[in-house]
């Protein structure tokens, strides 16, 4: 059995003190330990942004990709070796600006992976521009008069995209996070977890205090995660009360089970030399 320490790396951490990313890193490690996963069987896929340092800080396999492209890379990692546990990490800019186009496709394909959104409603690494999840009226360097664009709702995006697992958690509730992450990683199919992750440097509105005053747990209110309509309804709630927990979950065959080439096991283990003679015969 591995411990939290085994999932740590010697790379020096450069996140701001108090950053919500620390809680994500810790709870992901806890979830992996809790699920009894070996380091070699896990692949972390990251995009660009503060969250992108994740691959430096977690001691599993990793591919740090480019901005917005976590999902296609992660999809292919899973197809190439479906014995691996694949976890994608993306910031709100990564996931809902430049990479939004991939979300519906990973979701409808039901790629068997977890997609953790480090959602701080701001651009951090590029020093404080407005994010797609920033709320209307939010003032940043690129929205000096307050953002006049409606913020993207990660949960409704995932739900309408046909994700088979949709959850939200909060970096200020580590225990809740670990439990949600364990469920998401354990889910067979595409699992999106939107993590409310305060940016202590650039976002002075959506702070730990802001969320602490508002979040409540769906499980405390008897929410039925099998009910899509209820999940959608809850996903729209954002104001004095902000729900966290598993909004929606359904069982659907994951993407890789439909590929004839994967019937005999992971692609990566298959012998390379196919018989092209039969293919040539068609052309004779």
- Sign of the Cα torsion 199, 49, 115, 232 reads positive
> Of the ranges 23-31, 38-46, 131-139, 200-208, which one interacts with another protein (CB under 8 A)?
38-46
Residue 283 in the binding site for another protein (CB under 8 A): yes
Count how many Cα atoms sit within 13 Å of the Cα of residue 98 in the half-sphere of its side chain: 14
- CB 47 to another protein: min, Å: 9
> Of the ranges 5-13, 175-183, 223-231, 243-251, which one interacts with another protein (CB under 8 A)?
5-13
Residue 73 in the binding site for another protein (CB under 8 A): yes
> Measured from the CB atom, is 77 or 95 closer to another protein?
77
Closest CA to 218 of 180, 184, 265, 172: 180
Q: Which long-range contacts does 219-223 make (Cβ < 8 Å, 24+ apart)?
A: 219/245, 219/246, 223/247
> Of the ranges 193-201, 202-210, 228-236, 271-279, which one interacts with another protein (CB under 8 A)?
271-279
- CB 37 to another protein: min, Å: 12
Instruction: Write the DSSP symbol of residue 135.
Output: P
- Sign of the Cα torsion 137, 141, 145, 151 reads negative
Count how many Cα atoms sit within 13 Å of the Cα of residue 133 in the half-sphere of its side chain: 30
| Secondary structure (DSSP) of 200-243 | TTT-SSS-HHHHHTTEEEGGGGT--TT-HHHHHHHHT--SS-EE
Residue 260 in the binding site for another protein (CB under 8 A): yes
Rounded (to 5) percent helix, strand, coil in the chain: 40, 20, 45
Footprint on residues 177-236 left by another protein (CB under 8 A):
none
Residue 45 in the binding site for another protein (CB under 8 A): yes
Residue 64 in the binding site for another protein (CB under 8 A): yes
Asked if 197 contacts 120 with a C-beta cutoff of 8 angstroms, the reply is yes
> Of the ranges 74-82, 128-136, 153-161, 233-241, which one interacts with another protein (CB under 8 A)?
74-82
Residue 127 in the binding site for another protein (CB under 8 A): no
Give the span between the Cα atoms of 189 and 274, in whole angstroms: 30
Binding residue for another protein, selected from 29, 102, 168, 183, defined by CB under 8 A? 102
Binding residue for another protein, selected from 21, 55, 147, 164, defined by CB under 8 A? 55
- CB 183 to another protein: min, Å: 23
- Which positions touch another protein (CB under 8 A)? 9-11, 39-41, 43, 45, 48, 53, 55-56, 59-66, 69, 71-77, 79-81, 83-84, 101-102, 105, 259-262, 264, 267-268, 270, 272-274, 276-280, 283-284
């Amino acid at each position: 059995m591995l411990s939290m320490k085994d999932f740590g790396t010697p790379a020096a951490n450069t996140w701001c003190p108090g950053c919500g990313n620390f809680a994500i890193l810790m709870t992901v490690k806890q979830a992996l330990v809790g699920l009894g996963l070996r380091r070699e069987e896990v692949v972390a896929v990251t995009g660009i942004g503060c969250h992108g340092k994740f691959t430096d800080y977690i001691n599993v396999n990793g591919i740090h990709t480019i901005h917005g492209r976590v999902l296609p890379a992660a999809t292919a990692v899973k197809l190439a070796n479906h014995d691996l546990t694949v976890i994608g990490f993306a910031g709100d800019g990564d996931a809902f600006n430049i990479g939004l186009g991939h979300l519906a496709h990973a979701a409808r394909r039901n790629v068997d992976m977890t997609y953790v959104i480090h959602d701080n409603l701001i651009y951090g690494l590029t020093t404080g521009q407005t994010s797609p999840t920033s709320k209307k009226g939010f003032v940043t360097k690129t929205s000096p008069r307050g953002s006049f664009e409606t913020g993207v709702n990660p949960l409704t995006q995932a739900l309408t995209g046909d994700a088979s697992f949709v959850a939200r958690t909060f970096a200020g509730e580590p225990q809740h996070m670990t439990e949600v992450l364990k469920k998401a990683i354990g889910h067979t199919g595409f699992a999106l977890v939107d993590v409310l992750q305060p940016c202590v440097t650039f976002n002075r509105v959506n702070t730990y205090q802001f969320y602490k005053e508002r979040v409540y747990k769906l499980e405390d209110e008897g929410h039925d995660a099998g009910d899509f309509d209820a999940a959608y309804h809850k996903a729209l709630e954002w104001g004095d009360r902000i729900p966290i927990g598993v909004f929606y979950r359904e069982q659907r065959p994951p993407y890789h089970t439909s590929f004839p080439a994967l019937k005999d096991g992971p692609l990566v283990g298959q012998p390379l030399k196919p018989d092209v003679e039969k293919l040539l015969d068609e052309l004779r």
